[in-house]
Amino acid sequence: MRIGVLGGDGYCGWATALYLSARGHSVSIVDNFARRQWDHELGVQTLTPIRSLSERLKVWQELSGRTIDLYVGDCMDYDFLSAYVKSAEPESVIHFAEQRAAPYSMIDRKHAVFTQVNNVVGTLNLLFALRELQPDCHLVKLGTMGEYGTPNIDIEEGYITVEHNGRKDVLPFPKQPGSFYHLSKVHDSHNMMFACKIWKLRATDLNQGVVYGTITDETALDEALINRYDYDEVFGTVLNRFCVQAAVGHPLTVYGKGGQTRGFLDIRDTVRCVELACLNPAAPGECRVFNQFTEQFSVLEIAKLVQAAGHKMGLDVTVEQLPDPRVESEEHYYNAKHSKLIDLGLKPHLLSDSLLDSLMNIAIQYRDRIDTAMFLPQVDWRKPTNARNLKPQGVPVAVSR
């Protein structure tokens, strides 16, 4: 297939582009390198050293014999985006091209506005470009499980059957987003549903959980292809942060009681889920939703797993509970359905001792790049205007995911 990966220089996008290319698809990447600029803005860096995208693509071509086309530009620029769609004629578009961090959106007003304008307008531009130029193209959009929040009922996959006053209907599952970032994803979902309804576009909304892991078969071929390993308090994941903290003997920082429960999945499952969606497209006029995760863990459960893995490696790993800087339930019911991708053939990689060992070994390998000042939370969701002394006027427009 001809597949476009918007945000292909980012964490999920890079792994996905290589995976699809390795399987014979004709892949093109769209990016404006904003994800790299955010690191400069925040004064952080990925634990793993990332080469320039041009160098990455050159090495991939040398190793695989396959070319990935690169289009440098921005989804906020409709003229550029429509020109890309017209040139590449994608049969599927994978949309990772958004600002993807909840803490980033909660820094202050400017970061909140930037996140929502960038994400919502970029997706709207893509919907209009597909309607005008490639109406049969299948849009595979990365959503988030955070759209649902933590309701005291089971979370269905996108839709729920409701009976009220003797009548029944199938409606979008109620959304309780927990940040301005998650709100932008809810707006995206509604816009996609509306576009599919009125223009008969086809779309799959992948509500993804927390992704972990750095290694796929493709990124493991050469260090030049290595993926991101973010551990800072804005873009880092809790599992990455815990592994890096364990590697340098810092206590694992659990926010509040640690009962916050979320869905998790391996990056190897992310790329497979995307391909399954592409190979089994939605019907014209259909906006379907897949909950994309494989296991559920609380933050405290993740901390205990990392602690046990660290002890096996001879590390002295302790756990420290900090006041929660976020506005969230620290203990709650959480049971989300996630069967549709399994039904399509996904065979999950589960969080195991071997994977934890791998994550810990990478943290130890690049230990000299660890900045412990990035461990503690500095973005207070209750006081956004006093969060950090950043320079938001220099924030670029986003594409990397």
Joined tokens for residue 162: 């409701």
Is residue 181 part of the annotated active site? The answer reads yes
Residue where the block lists tokens 């259909």:
286
Is residue 197 part of the annotated active site? The answer reads no
Joined tokens for residue 69: 């086309």
Contact (Cβ atoms closer than 8 angstroms) between residue 267 and residue 212: yes
Kindly report each contact of residues 368-371 with a partner whose C-beta sits within 8 Å and lies 24 or more positions away, as own/partner: 369/45, 369/47, 369/49, 370/47, 370/231, 370/244, 370/247, 370/248, 371/44, 371/45, 371/232
Catalytic residue among 144, 204, 253, 294: 144
Measured in Å, how far apart are the chain's first and last C-alpha atoms? 22
CA distances from 367 to 46, 127, 247, 371 (A): 12, 43, 7, 9
Is residue 144 part of the annotated active site? The answer reads yes
DSSP three-state, residue 241: helix
Please report which helix (H) or strand (E) contains residue 236, including its range: none
Catalytic residue among 11, 84, 181, 212: 181
Contact (Cβ atoms closer than 8 angstroms) between residue 333 and residue 154: no
Joined tokens for residue 263: 């869905």
Cα-Cα-Cα-Cα torsion 368, 369, 370, 374, nearest 10 degrees, comes to 150
Contact (Cβ atoms closer than 8 angstroms) between residue 254 and residue 321: yes
DSSP three-state, residue 80: helix
- Which residues does residue 297 pair with via DSSP β-bridges, in sequence order? 262
Catalytic residue among 185, 219, 270, 340: 185
Q: Give the number of other CB atoms < 10 A from CB of residue 267.
A: 23
Those residues whose C-beta lies under 8 Å from the C-beta of residue 253, and which sit 6 or more positions away, are: 241, 245, 320, 322, 375, 376, 377
Those residues whose C-beta lies under 8 Å from the C-beta of residue 87, and which sit 6 or more positions away, are: 71
State the catalytic residues.
144, 181, 185
